[in-house]
Structure 1
Amino acid sequence: MKHPRIVDAILGTALATAFAWAQAGQAPGASATADIPISHRDRLYAAEQFSNTVSVTDPADNKLLGLIRLGDPSPGNFSPLYRGQVLVHGMGFSPDHRTLAVVSIGSNSVTFIDTATNAVKHTTYLGRSPHEAFYTPDGKEVWVTVRGENYIAVLDAATFLEKTRITTPSGPGMQIFSPDGQYGYICSSFNPETDVVSVATHQIVGRVRQDSPFCPNIAATPDGKQVWLTLKDIGRTMVFDARPPFSVIKSFDTGPITNHVNFANTKRGQFAYVSIGGLNQVKVFRTDDFSLVATIPVGKLPHGIWPSGDGTRMYVGLENADALAAIDTATNAVVGTVPVGQAPQAIAYVPNAVPEGDGMQGLQPLGVAGQLAQLFLVPLENGRGSSSDNPPTSVALFDQGLLQVVQASATGLAPKQAYVLALADKADGSGILQPLANFMTNPAGSAIVNAIGPIRQTVQGQAGAQRRYLVIAPHNGDTPGAPVQVQGM
């Protein structure tokens, strides 16, 4: 029989360990914040830019509950009298978990939604092409990056009205805050500079040199020690010290179309999860030694990423699959997928978003937003398309009625070169090419390419249409060159 003092010591150690784990805290909160176990009161939201919707999912059973429709698909939103939102894209939420802030790039707006009722509280219109909106940790302000201009719009969280601006280099991409609310970190999408701003004074107090101009996403670790940012144009991720002098700690290659980063605190430590669009993977890194611990196949063009309130799950939006993938952070394996609206961008997991009731008010079914066709392009070798288990270019056709928005996630091309996405007469790419969209690859040889038209009917030979084939060809003048990637069969 064990001595009572030994038993007490063992129990005390166990309780202390359990309490420490219960206080792990998940992004964007501090590590001292208590974890919130997954429940039917939680909600997982995704901003979907081609259906102009916000999907609402119950993460307890990975069930889509419905959509909040903020606007219409194309071409309805082309009307000069159109009043809905266009290109629903960015997402943040209030510290009390009662309000969702949704940014629509095309209509220059932030829509504030009640998480319990799904009702729109207010819409604030800003400057050209806002990108992301996040609440300060004290819940008093909402900072919005106005990426098409050169400032952060600071909104009063009570009135939703703009009260001041923070001037930055042109193209601020996203901002996030230190868990203690002292600093705001603002990366740029047009300039190789991240600015650190005092939340109290709205003054720039530090600058970090980015390895490239295009940062789409930035996140602070819950322990308050590091800030991670992604560089989509060169396929890298940077880490810098969250405290003065804000020195760069690490910069490393992560893969083409490196999209978003977020963190999970688990029993094994604190880990960074990075979505890599060109590889259709999420990579997992330790935050202490930056070692790669897992590479997770998740689906086509992973984009936004966010942890559950207890860090047991990491959710990622699949932009070219109209779905969310749920990753078990204990095994780093996908354990569920959820169908959502078209081209999910930013996502947000809000614990206890619906404290009472079923939270189903105002939600609509997927409808046309759930209609998607998928293709892929492969390298042209010896006059025919090569076979590939992981084709370099995925293509999604998002139904808009008679038309589709075409989005190609192109990789495996020469860096910084001009190309064209086109339709060819024959499967091998021969014949006259009909251009759909010209584009320039980034330094990683990648690009996201968009077009619109009745493409599905054409490439599938439906409704009596002549069968055509999607290809990518060099474009160094008025006439495209020979295709280098062709539609896979």
Structure 2
Amino acid sequence: MNLSGALAMSAALLLAAGCAPENRPVSTSAADQPARSLFVAAKRGNTLSKIDLATGEEVQRKPSCTNPHELATSPDGRHVALACYGGTSVDIFAVDTLDKVASIDLGENARPHGIVWHENGDIYATAEGRRSIFRIARPLAAEPQLLEFSTAKDGSHMLAVAPDGNTAWTTDLGSRTVTRVALKARMAPLSMTVGEEPEGIALAPDGRTLWVSARGSNEVFALDSDTMEVRETVETGRFPLRIAIRPQGDVAVTSDLMDGSLSVIDLAEAEVIRTIPVSGPETAQDRFQVTILWSDDGRRIYVAETASDTIAEVDYASGTVLRRLTAGEGGDGLAILP
């Protein structure tokens, strides 16, 4: 959410925010927590943090790059890649030390934002300033191979990639479109106008349906991933910034920034079946929730609360905020690894 209009809105909300409300976490034992680490990119602090989920403690924090946003984890779990939205590079860090091991420059005015580290070993990233997507082959090699694919649209922001690595899709904030890009076949990009300010994007596990949240019109759209035709339209809470599909593939949640809540969408029925309060509308401006991430078992949802420098851990079954985890200033991108 970093086009000029969104920046103005963000600044206004943050200026209006007072002190964050008192945190009232539900008691949760360390034995109940998975032995995993949560990685957080902090876009105001320009840092990368690691949180031990068993204890809830931040165990490492190191400088990253200017205005870091989305994170992606390597298939072998040894590295995390960070999209440096304030610059031109994708930077790669070792998960054990958080030391930077590689920096891959995407060229002038790249402003990478959305990022996927695919099971095939390649990294895919949007280059918003270049109206394109990059495929980075052999990202940890001395000389990675860079291939650039035009979207021909303004504000290509978030990204999804097909399981076979043949196709990618972007949400294009400035153009109000969703674009399909062929990564191997010689085909022109195919775009569809979808709502107002489409931003969140997620591909269903079977690869046939693309789910897109349009923050400006408070809607979610289900698109045929091949033809790009809209199959379903779902009304959500206010300003659904992100959408994330549960690993089981049964539901998706949207991060409804203005309501401080999550809309739970039954994907088979294409309807909202629950609303999960996180901060609530009264304190939504104090929290300013952005990125959402499911745990691997689908039991918990992690919600980056950018204004209060916290990540809310939500129990999906009960809808309870279990605790709030503290990381760097302006936490945004999230990733989980063993």
TM-score category (smaller protein): 0.7 to 0.9
How many Å separate the matches in 1 of 2:299 and 2:126? Answer: 32
TM-score, normalised relative to structure 1:
0.51
- The structure having more radius of gyration, on CA atoms, is 1
> CA-atom RMSD, angstroms?
3.2
Q: Distance in 1 between matches of 2:153 and 2:223?
A: 21
Question: Hey, what's the Cα distance between the residues in 1 that align with 2:322 and 2:265?
Answer: 29
Shift of 1:246: 7.2
Distance 2:95 2:197 in 1: 33
Kindly indicate whether residue 148 of structure 2 is the aligned counterpart of residue 210 of structure 1.
no
Contact 1:258/1:275 (<8 A) preserved: yes
Structure 1 equivalent of residue 117 of structure 2: 177
Match of 1:250 in 2: 190
Aligned to 2:82: 144
Query: Counterpart of 2:270 in structure 1: which amino acid?
Result: N
Give, in whole Å, the separation in 2 of the partners of 1:66 and 1:135. 29
For residues 101 and 289 of structure 2, what CA distance do their matches in structure 1 show? 30
In structure 2, distance between residues paired with 1:213 and 1:286: 22
Task: Identify if the C-alpha distance between structure 1 residues 140 and 320 changes in structure 2 by more than 3 Å, giving closer, same or farther.
Answer: same
1:163 to partner: Cα distance? 1.4
User: Do the aligned partners of 2:239 and 2:257 also contact (CA within 8 Å) in 1?
Assistant: yes
Sequence identity, in percent? 19
Q: Residues 157-189 of structure 1, C-alpha deviation per residue, up to 9 Å, x if partnerless?
A: 2211111200113311221123322x2111123
Q: 1:284 Cα deviation (Å)?
A: 0.4
How many angstroms apart in 2 are the aligned matches of 1:226 and 1:299?
Answer: 30
- Distance in structure 2 (CA, Å) of the matches to 1:296 and 1:156: 40
For residue 302 of structure 1, report the CA deviation from its aligned partner.
0.6
The TM-score normalised by the length of structure 2 is 0.72
- Please give the residue correspondences for 1:158-307 in structure 2 after superposition, counting only pairs within 5 Å: 158-169=96-107, 170=109, 171-181=111-121, 183-198=122-137, 199-201=139-141, 203-242=144-183, 244=184, 247-265=187-205, 270-307=208-245
Alignment of 1:349 onto 2:301 = no
Structure 1 counterpart of 2:179, one-letter code: M
Pair 354,123 (structure 1): closer, same or farther in 2 beyond 3 Å: farther
CA contact (8 A) 1:179 1:220 kept: no
> CA 1:178 to 1:292, structure 2 compared with 1: closer, same or farther past 3 Å?
same
Which whole-Å CA distance do the structure 1 matches of 2:253 and 2:322 have between them? Answer: 24
Ranges in structure 1 where 5+ consecutive residues have no aligned partner: 1-48, 54-63, 68-95, 366-489
- Aligned with 1:190: secondary structure? helix
- State whether residues 118 and 361 of structure 1, in contact with CA within 8 Å, keep that contact through their aligned partners in structure 2: no
Contact 2:192 2:228 (8 Å CA) reproduced: no
Letter in 2 for 1:343: F
User: Could you tell me how far apart the structure 2 residues matched to 1:97 and 1:237 are?
Assistant: 37
For residues 115 and 303 of structure 1, do their structure 2 counterparts lie closer, same or farther at Cα, with a shift above 3 Å needed? same
Deviates more, 1:187-196 or 1:293-302: 187-196
User: Are 1:326 and 2:267 matched, yes or no?
Assistant: no
Aligned match of 2:10: none
Q: CA deviation at 1:290?
A: 2.3
Compared CA separation, residues 188 and 314, structure 1 to 2 (3 A): same
- CA distance in 2: counterparts of 1:213 and 1:233, whole angstroms: 5
Deviations along 1:182-230, whole A, 9 cap, x unmatched? x211112322222110135362431111223422211112354321111
Distance 1:149 1:354 in 2: 35
CA contact (8 A) 2:237 2:262 kept: no
Contact 2:192/2:229 (<8 A) preserved: no
In the other structure, the counterpart of 1:123 is 61
Higher RCO (Cα < 8 Å, 6 or more apart): 2
| Cα offset, 1:361, TM superposition | 12
Give 1:364 deviation, angstroms.
Answer: 4.7
Amino acid at match of 1:337: T
- Unaligned runs of 5+ residues in structure 2 are 1-12, 28-33, 280-286, 301-313, 326-338
